[in-house]
Structure 1
Amino acid sequence: MKRVVFAVPGSLDTPTGGYAYDKRIMAELRHLGWEVDYLNIGDGFPAPDAATRAAARSLLGALPEGRPIVLDGLALGVLPDVAAELASRHPLVALVHHPLALESGLAAERAASLRRSEQAALAEAREVVVTSPATAKLVASDYCVPAARITVARPGNDPVSLSAREPNDIPHLLSVGSVVPRKGFDILVSALAVLADMPWRLTIVGDLTRDRSEAAKIRYLISQHRLAGRIETMGAIPSAQLAVLYAKADLFVLASRFEGYGMAYAEALCHGLPVIGTMAGAIPDTIPQGTGLLVSPNDPAALAAALRGIIADAEQRRSLSEAALAAARTLPTWRESAAIFAATLDKLA
């Protein structure tokens, strides 16, 4: 039986798209006949302390020589020395969800340091798997990885059981993502503050503990703009509960400053929701033309204008919803995504 180790920094149940991708690809590879081992190399990445870094090196160094390793980019990018050690003894695959240096809110010096570190680490990998064509271009152009070593394995999608959607009397907006600067919730709240004259309500679903200062900032902005009765922050919730919210929503909106793919956008399409997002990173790849509206990132005025138009126009929402469902039928399944991943692993032989 073919065997591979997925080395991931932390629990696979961490509520982010990256961890959900890792967990599901591992499960689908098992269905395809692979024996997949999961190695938790510790929390705190991409800023591990010395003890966590040493423990990760020890855990990875103890793996049987020659065993293929998929190392999640959240850790790989800050472990170039460990990557060099592993590459001398193992076929090494880098899994890059999005470049670490493109996380929002980083000081310029920190971003430059991450870029150098990640470039050095990627140079040690025999193969690099990314989740979108846009990220593939970035890894090739900015990190000097030859295109022949890059594979795009987009996140998959599950079938969604849809019932007839009844518009709400007050349009219900849904936004899904961990509350961190990159997701742009501050931009979204500021945009909605301009639309206080319109009927709407917003539910934000996403981990409120990953960046507590950002979560506090969003709560402050909601209070400052007197929107507490119209915006609800729910934190991370089970997938079944989230599916109910998708079914009851009228519109999906997320003002991300960057996305390596944007799994929540694709999930919204699968639920037949019109989408408002930004033109950052891979989002234009994920949201086909005609399924929603994309604006420049970091632009509350542009986002407010897009929201005003679509909130006021139920017929436009209906048209965009039909296009979203048509686009969703072209998205890959998780089994198809895993088959692409498996083909990359097969090359290691």
Structure 2
Amino acid sequence: MTLRPATFAIPGDITKLTGGYIYERRLLEGLQAQGRDMAHLPLGATFPAPSDPDMAEAVARLAALPPDRVLILDGLIYGSIATEGLARVQSPIVAMIHHPLAHETGLDPARAAHLFRTERDNLALAAHVLVPSPHTAALLASDYGVPPDRITIVRPGTDRPTLAPCPADPPLILSVGIQHARKGHDILLRALAEVTDLVWQAVIVGSPHDPAFAADLARLHRRLDLGARVTLAGRVSAGDLAQHYSRAQIFALATRYEGYGIVFDEALAHGLPIVTCATGAVPDTVPAEAGLLVPPEDAPAFARALRDMLQDSALLQAKAGAALRAGEALPGWQDTARRAGQVLDALP
């Protein structure tokens, strides 16, 4: 079978350490590894709030693609590019939607409404849509009018752990996610401040994606007097992250919303019980037997879940065992690329 040639348009730095960028970089590499004529088209970094030059360049470069090449278009661009510009594209378009842009945390109502209208209208131009989770698939069908037969769930792959478990003493609570309001690190800090009577340490790994939120987080850390018990580690190397996972006993992320959440799969692969929030795609991603899910925006409930994990060794061990079993069943990145490739090759 001839593999369909394609171009993957992604804004900004593809090596950025966010779940969306990791997914798209690994998918791009996986499609290339199939022997497919698979090109990477980098576009302006200002999406999803594109500058006029970035918008003009994106429209011109996308419209210039030949009609025999499939265009996979990253969701940050897809949900914010001008519809009249996207309509000029001759290639069959496959939208890569992690979660709708209008669902981002902290948007004012007018901005959210604009993004909703733009993404809805642009999705009508897609030959097909790739999503990482059943939650996003259902949302696009119900709220954005995308026919279900034009949506394919392509779950992210997971790498196997490179280091054996080496639990830290005192117990290490690990959180991984960019310093952005949606990840809820402020809720996590408030929850940790409620369990300081117990013995633990915590590390929060993640780049300061939103400088204002990162500054607020550092101030909150000082105000709560968490001191050296909680390390705001920022961005770390792959080797250091592997060390953190190997030393951790609990994974905690007080997220406000996830379209998927690759870090949950990483935690499962490492056999870590998870404390997180029942929001977005999280209940689809984190098996109930492997974690404790609480309402979002509820620091006291999050603190109670952490306390239960820290004080009840039988609960902790049961959740850890379930996490490891779930992690062993997760697909690899080759599986992700294979599923996406099938979609490309089936397009008319």
Gapped regions of structure 2 (runs ≥ 5): none
**Greater mean deviation of Cα atoms: 58-67 or 102-111:** 58-67
Q: Is the 8 A contact 1:253 1:276 kept in 2?
A: yes
1:264-303 aligned within 5 A = 264-303=263-302
Gapped regions of structure 1 (runs ≥ 5): none
Alignment-derived partner of residue 91 in structure 1: 92
Alignment-derived partner of residue 84 in structure 2: 81
Percent of counterpart pairs with the same letter? 43
Alignment-derived partner of residue 205 in structure 1: 205
Q: Is the 8 A contact 1:175 1:204 kept in 2?
A: yes
- Please give the TM-score of this superposition, normalised by the length of structure 1: 0.96
1:213 and 1:314 map into 2 onto residues whose CA distance is 38
Q: How many Å apart are 1:162 and its aligned residue?
A: 5.1
1:23 and 1:78 map into 2 onto residues whose CA distance is 21
Alignment-derived partner of residue 136 in structure 1: 137
1:33 and 1:51 map into 2 onto residues whose CA distance is 34
2:111 and 2:307 map into 1 onto residues whose CA distance is 38
1:166 and 1:3 map into 2 onto residues whose CA distance is 45
**2:135 alignment partner AA:** A
1:28 and 1:173 map into 2 onto residues whose CA distance is 32
Q: How many Å apart are 1:332 and its aligned residue?
A: 1.1
Equivalenced residues, count: 345
Q: Is the 8 A contact 2:8 2:73 kept in 1?
A: yes
Residue deviations 1:170-207, cap 9 Å, x none? Answer: 22110001110110111111111111212121101111
Alignment-derived partner of residue 246 in structure 1: 245
1:278 and 1:66 map into 2 onto residues whose CA distance is 43
1:169 and 1:66 map into 2 onto residues whose CA distance is 58
Q: How many Å apart are 1:323 and its aligned residue?
A: 0.8
Q: How many Å apart are 1:166 and its aligned residue?
A: 4.8
Q: How many Å apart are 1:231 and its aligned residue?
A: 1.1
**Greater mean deviation of Cα atoms: 126-135 or 234-243:** 234-243
RMSD over equivalenced CA pairs, Å: 1.2
1:72-221 aligned within 5 A = 72-79=74-81, 80-86=83-89, 89-161=90-162, 163=164, 165-208=165-208, 210-221=209-220
Q: Alignment partner for residue 7 of structure 1, among 9, 16, 19?
A: 9
**1:110 alignment partner AA:** R
**1:30 alignment partner AA:** Q
Alignment-derived partner of residue 315 in structure 2: 316
SS at match of 1:290: helix
2:235 and 2:142 map into 1 onto residues whose CA distance is 35
Alignment-derived partner of residue 55 in structure 1: 57
Residue deviations 1:135-187, cap 9 Å, x none? Answer: 10001111110000000001011222453x45433221100011101101111
Residue deviations 1:199-225, cap 9 Å, x none? Answer: 1211011111x2000001110110000
